[in-house]
Homo-oligomer: A and B are copies of this chain.
Amino acid sequence: MHAVTLVNGSHNLGLDALDRGLAYGDGVFETIALQQGQVQLWQGHCERLTKGLLRLGLAADAAAASVLVTKLISDIQVAYQRFQAPDGVLKITLTRGVGGRGYAAPQAPQCTRIVSLAPWPAGRERLSIAGVNSRLCCHPWSVNSALAGLKHLNRLDQVMARNEWQDPHIHEGFMLDPEGYIISGVMSSVFLQQQGQLIVPLLDQCGVAGVMAREVRVIAEQAGINVIQGRINVAALLSADAVFMTNSLNGIWPVVNLCPSRSHTKSHAWPISDLTLGLQKTLAVNLLRQPLVGELC
């Protein structure tokens, strides 16, 4: 099984070296789990993608965004036929394409669509059971309320934070804003359990609005668990009863250790709570009801 990449629906096509996605990070992307031919949380990914297309002006209105999404769905179906495996990592990227004068966008951008399917990474399910080790990253989030929440292509912060460690036993890193409040993992959303409630970071100044995080939040609220947005400092993190992280590929990862790092020299451990285990179970059931690739419309 090999990775499949389609550019504007065509296999084995290189990207124009002058694409604005490369020049400026002028675009948006989604990373989606494909499981047993099902596109996990498609609706949520589609909504965030559409929001990004509109905010960046890659689509002039909802109708134009819908046209782009329809083309993407066709690409996904073609890629899936070539991929010949039920499980994989589906990545969708949409850029403003080539053109314009410098930073100025072309009047009628021809967006570039990139759809890739890569083999499902082995061994990650184990971490959902055993829990993961974490650290505090030094590189902070860039702050800008005008871009907060979007999954755009300006992701140098995540690259810089992730490259602070090489130790394969550390699975995730907490990223802070410049004031020292916890915003996210490098590739995940963060939940703290405190006295039976869940606390999630406010993402009004930076951060990505996680699709899996939203799903987990809905599940928690349906189970009668209160979910509060707030500013979380390191002391609050350490005093949490339990901590977990979520993302579209890993689902719910219990965080069991904070390992020493340059920005925090003491280690700390959290238990895996019954609340976390309960959410994992409900999530697994919910994810069984996702659309098949062929059912996307």
Contact = CB atoms under 8 A, between A and B. Distances in A.
A215 to B, nearest CB: 20
A249 B71 CA distance: 39
Interface stretch (A150-158, A195-203, A255-263, A283-291): A150-158
Given A22-B153, A155-B103, A158-B24, A144 B141 contact: yes
B162 A102 contact: yes
B155 A24 contact: yes
A154 B141 CA distance: 13
Given A153-B22, A154-B156, A142 B139 contact: no
A254 interface: no
A7 interface: yes
Interface string A128-164: 0000000000011111111100001111111111110
Question: Which of A5, A15, A114, A186 lies at the interface centre, i.e. has the most chain B CB atoms within 10 A of its CB?
Answer: A15
A248 to B, nearest CB: 12
A54 to B, nearest CB: 13
Given A23-B155, A142-B147, A156-B56, A103 B14 contact: no
Given A142-B142, A142-B143, A143-B144, A26 B104 contact: no
Contact of A156 (B7, B24, B116, B160): B24
A18 B89 CA distance: 14
A103 B186 CA distance: 8
A25 B27 CA distance: 10
B17 A116 contact: yes
A50 interface: no
Contacts of A144: 140-143, 157, 178
A95 B153 CA distance: 14
A105 interface: yes
Contacts of A21: 22
A221 interface: no
Contacts of A23: 29, 93, 153, 155
Given A13-B14, A14-B17, 15 more contacts: A5-B17, A14-B15, A14-B16, A22-B93, A23-B29, A24-B153, A24-B155, A24-B159, A57-B163, A103-B186, A104-B162, A140-B144, A142-B142, A147-B157, A154-B156
Q: Which 6 A-B pairs give the minimum distances between C-beta atoms?
A: A14-B14, A25-B25, A154-B154, A103-B162, A142-B144, A24-B155
22 contacts: A5-B18, A13-B14, A15-B15, A19-B22, A20-B159, A21-B22, A23-B93, A23-B155, A24-B154, A24-B156, A56-B159, A103-B161, A103-B163, A103-B186, A105-B163, A142-B142, A143-B143, A143-B144, A143-B178, A145-B178, A146-B160, A154-B154
